[in-house]
Structure 1
Amino acid sequence: MANKRKKEPQTEDMLVQRFEQMLAEGTSVFFDLHEFEHIIQHYGIRAQWQKAFKACEAAFSQYPFASELGIEKVRVLLGLGKYRQALELAEKVAALHPDSDELFVLQAGAFMGLNMVSQAIESLLKALKNTDEKEDIHYRIADLYLRSGKLQHSVEHLFEILKINPDNINALLDIADSLETLHRTAEGAKFFEERINENPEDFRLWRNAGVFFNETNSFHKAIELFDYALALNEEESSIWYHLGHAQMNLQRYEEAEVSYQKAIDLKEESDFPEPEMYCCLAATYEKRKDYNKASELYRKAVNMDEQCADGWYGIGMCLIGKERWYEAINFLKKSVRIDSECEDYWLALAEAEWKTGNVMSALEAYQHANHLNPANPQTWLDWSGIYREQGDYMQAIGLLKSGLEECPAHADLYYRMCLYHIEAGKYKQSFSYLENALILDFDRHTVLYEWIEDINIQKALFKIISQYQR
């Protein structure tokens, strides 16, 4: 008796090929339910939503009552941006799958597409009840609360994430940022204290508490907590890495160098160090003006990843440190091309452009930096300083007026306005700005004597300043 030949299972590519051939020929070919699911998912992964939709339509023509296909079609409709249709279908499918966490997540995506944030959050809260992916769902909810300005609600879900996974550093950083904005950092300190008391042997809890205090600028406290974490596990790279951050912020560069190097060495034993780790190590040398060693490490970072913007920026800053302005521009331009949302990159580029006489390019770079952070008073000072150097005092004054609207309590802006008005010959207005500056910060008045050489003007200023002498 002849052996029957066993039917070979078809690969995903073969299924897709058969399906596309069916479409091209306008014929009807049989696929089982799971094969249709594979075809739809194949197109979905590649964001080929029109083809995925055609596969859904073909699947429903063969299996009109297959509720499993409903969830796939909701996903496809979302990909096509048909949010209302996706919601309508999701409601029908939910009647058959009332506990599907996946369906609730898709519903949330449809609500977000329609800018219905509260409804999206409500759907995700339903998804939380049955999902095994609680960490991911909590993060989605936290993000939506953050977008809608409800920081405290966002923090509550971020705390839940850390209970599930203490290694989720992104959640930790978001907590610190949100609580600092709310002026409620004590809540974070209490949370970590409670977690440590529950499990004092878990080095991750000590590390996380240290990271939190790092982010809220309590660097001495952070170092103390990192020391406890290291006492429990001195072979954990992340502890040394964050300890290095605290030491850098306290300008303890030699200690930071040791910490970053230890972090890199430990990382090399189990994995590959990230380029950012070499950038941090490089910064310890840059701060000590060892630009050659710093550049070597920054170059190592960009050799590992050409898209490492910090690496290109670091090389540029080392060249600035050597006053090699023309060369610096090339590297700084690479950094802003990779990440145009970093204020520091634009400020460094602006300085380099100005030093090489590229006035228009410098002004454009300051404008970019200011757009990203209009509350930085130094940007206003340096930006307006270009107009002052060119003798365009009225343009400098106009720019600083805008700066004072953004930074109304910053004394240096008032002192600089006083200077610009004096240089423009507008003495009466200059004294008004001087009085405001003296009220805000009397001790900073000495900067005026550095700028103004005319003895008669100095005497007039001294007469006013002496009235505010403590």
Structure 2
Amino acid sequence: MNHDFPSFNEFNEDFEDLRDLLQQFENLKEGRSHAFLDEDSFEQIIDYYDEHDELNNALQAVEIAIEQFPFSSALLLKKSALLIETKKYREALALLEKAALLDSNDINLYILKTDVYLAMNQHEKAASLLEEQITQFDGEDRTDLLLELADVYDDWEEFEKVFDCLKMLLEYDANNEEALHKICFWTEFTGRNEESIRLHTNIINEHPYNQLAWFNLGTAYQGLKLYEKAIDAYQYAVVIDERFDYAYRNMGDAYIHLRKYNEAIEVLQKHLEVAKPEDVIYEAIGHCYEKMRKFTQARYYYRKASHLSPNDDKLYLKIAKAYMTEENWENAIKSLQSALRINKHSAEYNITLGQCYLQLGSDKEALAHFLNAVRIRPNSAQAWKELVRGLYASGHVDEALVQLDAAEARIGRKPVFLFYRAALLIATGKTKEGLLQLETALQLHPRQVKKMVELDPSILQHIAVVDLIGRYRRKR
């Protein structure tokens, strides 16, 4: 059987050779007798020290090497790279000019110069240097320069040019994986989905089995909300590579947008087969079951997500909401208490807990949580609304009016407050005042009348209230 990687013996021989070279170099430094070190040997020694972060030794080796081989551009480039590592940019630049006179066809010369310009914050110089050189090289060298140029534009925050550069690269080298991965992100970032669709369609016409091109085509369609087309493209990607986890993930998302929850679950389950389980995948499956009103399954997957991400309080809220839909208030409360333990300062969790306690008739606990919500977010209309509603529902109508005054003093006269005031006044027997208040509310915000009916459906037993609402319905 023929493997491409070296055998243990070869590794051993290489290691022995390297150890021998390092020993010879030590002898040379100490002035002892030593074997002749050629240019290649010096390069190995310099690389060894550089990789092991022994910069001083690497610099010493390169100095000695250049004394012996003064016309080696490769050694000058190595020294430049070390100078860049030690932040001696001017010296590095001077050496690179010298190396250019010896050999201007080495791509590393331009990559190192670019590194210097970027380190010195001279993005324009870096970009124009690479732009000039791109046409001078071909094959892998041109590809490398284009990738380097894309990084320069990224660093310079010229984001449209990053996209242009990657597009140019893929028109030249359609199967370049790094560019295909990068352009996927930059398409989304710059929103240039139509161009991406044209580019990847051309690539696929030439290379129909390029799964990354199919995937990118899918993400571009998804960016334009063309979910059916996106799904078609992802399906080609997973036919070519059935372990392409990101394609399953995105396909699941596209199916969710189309409200095709069974199909979404199927492809997300496939994702779980081919990749490491992730909380977001379990959560998405839970979401699909919730939308299908299969709450037991929804909770099962939300729990699986929360095992992987135990500090994500939002997952406990989702479990609670699934219980609330089934009116299972006790279990909803347990989940909400878990959420609140993680995030003590959430007005939303306090409000939702209050709602559950209210359903169980535990008025005192409910009001305590509504009050907490108002303390945490004193400018939240939702928090004040729930507090007033809680007081009303538990029979504290006078206190509800006091808190309604406090709410309006704090955040102004919200439409819902006008309707609540009308209902509260009618409930305390101040019918005339209540009806006047209701008339004002209906003049200003007729659509919000349902908020009053939600607060107390029995209010519709008042003939005068029904008449008044009917009059405004007819007007509208």
| Shorter-chain TM band | 0.5 to 0.7
Residues 1:99 and 1:148: Cα distance change in structure 2 (over 3 Å)? same
> Which sections of structure 2, spanning at least 5 residues, go unmatched?
1-12, 290-296, 321-335, 348-369, 382-402, 426-433, 449-474
Q: Deviations over 1:413-444 (max 9, x none)?
A: xxxxxx999726157xx35xx6xxxxxxxxxx
Once residues 48 and 279 of structure 2 are traced to their aligned partners in structure 1, the CA distance between those partners, rounded to angstroms, is 39
Match of 2:220 among 212, 223, 227: 212
Once residues 258 and 19 of structure 1 are traced to their aligned partners in structure 2, the CA distance between those partners, rounded to angstroms, is 63
Q: Which residue of 2 aligns with 1:83?
A: 89
1:177 counterpart = 2:174: no
Contact 2:419 2:441 in 1 (8 A): no
Q: Which residue of 1 aligns with 2:251?
A: 243
Match of 2:66 among 35, 40, 60: 60
1:425 counterpart = 2:409: yes
| Structural mapping, 1:30-429, within 5 Å | 31-128=37-134, 129-130=136-137, 132-163=140-171, 164=173, 165=175, 167-168=177-178, 169-180=180-191, 184-197=192-205, 205-227=213-235, 233=240, 235=242, 237=244, 239-263=247-271, 265=273, 267=274, 273=275, 275=276, 278-279=278-279, 281-287=281-287, 288=289, 290-293=298-301, 295-296=303-304, 311-312=308-309, 318-322=315-319, 355-356=340-341, 359=344, 389-390=374-375, 393=378, 423=407, 425=409
Residues 1:36 and 1:357: Cα distance change in structure 2 (over 3 Å)? closer
- Report how far residue 14 of structure 1 moved: 3.9
- Report how far residue 156 of structure 1 moved: 1.6
> Which sections of structure 1, spanning at least 5 residues, go unmatched?
1-7, 268-272, 300-310, 324-350, 364-384, 398-418, 435-444
Residues 1:426 and 1:297: Cα distance change in structure 2 (over 3 Å)? closer
Once residues 421 and 142 of structure 2 are traced to their aligned partners in structure 1, the CA distance between those partners, rounded to angstroms, is 60
Residues 1:97 and 1:358: Cα distance change in structure 2 (over 3 Å)? same
Residues 1:32 and 1:447: Cα distance change in structure 2 (over 3 Å)? farther
Once residues 120 and 89 of structure 2 are traced to their aligned partners in structure 1, the CA distance between those partners, rounded to angstroms, is 7
Once residues 112 and 166 of structure 2 are traced to their aligned partners in structure 1, the CA distance between those partners, rounded to angstroms, is 21
Q: How many residues align?
A: 355
AA partner of residue 148 (structure 1): W
Cα root mean square deviation, aligned = 4.5
Q: Which residue of 1 aligns with 2:445?
A: 465
Q: Which residue of 2 aligns with 1:304?
A: none
Residues 1:166 and 1:280: Cα distance change in structure 2 (over 3 Å)? farther
Larger Rg: 2
Q: TM-score, normalised by structure 2?
A: 0.60
Q: Secondary structure at the match of 1:390?
A: helix
Residues 1:248 and 1:42: Cα distance change in structure 2 (over 3 Å)? farther
- Report how far residue 228 of structure 1 moved: 5.4
Q: Secondary structure at the match of 2:409?
A: coil
Once residues 391 and 194 of structure 1 are traced to their aligned partners in structure 2, the CA distance between those partners, rounded to angstroms, is 56
Q: Deviations over 1:437-466 (max 9, x none)?
A: xxxxxxxx6699799986678776554335
Contact 1:166 1:208 in 2 (8 A): no
Contact 2:313 2:340 in 1 (8 A): no
Residues 1:313 and 1:120: Cα distance change in structure 2 (over 3 Å)? farther
- Report how far residue 319 of structure 1 moved: 4.5
Residues 1:387 and 1:462: Cα distance change in structure 2 (over 3 Å)? farther
Once residues 250 and 463 of structure 1 are traced to their aligned partners in structure 2, the CA distance between those partners, rounded to angstroms, is 40
AA partner of residue 190 (structure 1): R
- Report how far residue 100 of structure 1 moved: 1.1
Once residues 452 and 55 of structure 1 are traced to their aligned partners in structure 2, the CA distance between those partners, rounded to angstroms, is 89
Contact 1:393 1:424 in 2 (8 A): no
Q: Deviations over 1:32-73 (max 9, x none)?
A: 322211111112223433332222122223333333210111
Once residues 161 and 458 of structure 1 are traced to their aligned partners in structure 2, the CA distance between those partners, rounded to angstroms, is 67
Q: Deviations over 1:295-320 (max 9, x none)?
A: 55786xxxxxxxxxxx4368765455
Q: TM-score, normalised by structure 1?
A: 0.60
Q: Secondary structure at the match of 1:130?
A: coil
Contact 1:179 1:188 in 2 (8 A): no
Percent of residue pairs identical:
21
Q: Deviations over 1:395-423 (max 9, x none)?
A: x89xxxxxxxxxxxxxxxxxxxxx99972
Residues 1:14 and 1:253: Cα distance change in structure 2 (over 3 Å)? farther
Contact 1:105 1:127 in 2 (8 A): no
Contact 1:83 1:110 in 2 (8 A): yes
